[in-house]
Structure 1
Amino acid sequence: MYNRILVPTDGSKVAQTAVDNAIDLAEKYGAEVHALYVADTDAIAFGLGTEQVDRIDQGDFASMTELREDAENATGYVVEQAEKNGLTAVEHHAGGKPHEKIAGYAENNGIDLIVIGSHGRSGVRRALLGSVTERVLRSTHVPVLVVDYEGDH
């Protein structure tokens, strides 16, 4: 049923909850796990030059040590968990609008399921903040499993 499972991650506890669920499903189905880190260029563009934003859009974080480390730590955690369970994992780093990159990656890589975390926000707070998870749901035809994080909001 699922051959390739995508888990977008930023390394947060919310994302780690999604990773745990993705790994569990991947074990059950013998699926390959894809870990995707997306640097939101809209959120980090302030104070950066156009050239730096363009490099981030291309997934080139080499010149930005902190961003590169965040990306490597986030996707590295997924790979570590996958390998502990005898699964194959693929890491990818990208820059841009997270929901677009997630949907595009899923479409371009034959992803069968996206497993993504959510803070469980609702009402005005979600409307004001926007929700990557909600936008992913509207941006793809790939099934999406939304994992609600039960910890501190």
Structure 2
Amino acid sequence: MYERILIPTDGSDVAEAAVDHALDLAEKYDAEVHALYVVDIDSVNLSLGTEQVDRLRQGRFGEMEELKERADEATGAVADRGEERGVEVVEHISGGRPHKLIGEYAEDHEIDLIVMGSHGRAGVRRALLGSVTERTLRSTHVPVLVVDYLNED
């Protein structure tokens, strides 16, 4: 049923909540997992300049080593957890608008399922999905499993 499962991750607790669900499904269906980190160009400091933004879109971080480390840590955590369970994980880092790149990645890599976390806000706000999750749901035809995250604080 599932041959390739995509986990968009930013390393947050919300994203991490989805990893176990995705890995469980990958084990059950002997699927390959793809961990995708997208540097949100819209939220990066606009003073970077056009050349640096273009590099980010291409997944080249150059002098922005802190962003690269954060991205490697996020996808690496998925890969490490996958390895513990005998699940192959492909890591990919890119820059752009997250929901758009998630959809494009899913299409380009023939992803069968996207597994992502909701957000961890409490109260009325919690009833609404995070903007990246909601936009992903609206912009792709690939099934999306949204894993609820309850903040225990």
Counterpart residue number, 2:68: 68
CA distance in 2 between counterparts of 1:12 and 1:145 reads 17
Q: What TM-score, normalized by structure 1, do the two folds share?
A: 0.92
Deviation at 1:110, TM superposition (A): 0.6
Deviation at 1:38, TM superposition (A): 0.1
Counterpart residue number, 1:92: 92
Query: Residue deviations 1:84-116, cap 9 Å, x none?
Result: 111111000000000000000000001000001
Q: What TM-score, normalized by structure 2, do the two folds share?
A: 0.92
Deviation at 1:46, TM superposition (A): 1.9
Aligned AA (2:73)? N
Deviation at 1:121, TM superposition (A): 5.3
Specify the SS of the correspondent of 2:106: helix
Deviation at 1:135, TM superposition (A): 0.1
Deviation at 1:45, TM superposition (A): 3.7
Specify the SS of the correspondent of 1:47: helix
Sort the Cα spacing of 1:122 and 1:18 in 2 relative to 1 into closer, same or farther, 3 A. Answer: same
Structure 1 unaligned blocks of 5 or more: none
Structure 2 unaligned blocks of 5 or more: none
CA distance in 1 between counterparts of 2:82 and 2:136 reads 23
**1:56-135 matches, cutoff 5 A:** 56-119=56-119, 131-135=131-135
Identify the range of structure 1 (20-29 vs 5-14) with the bigger mean alpha-carbon deviation.
20-29
CA RMSD of aligned residues (A): 2.0
Aligned AA (1:3)? E
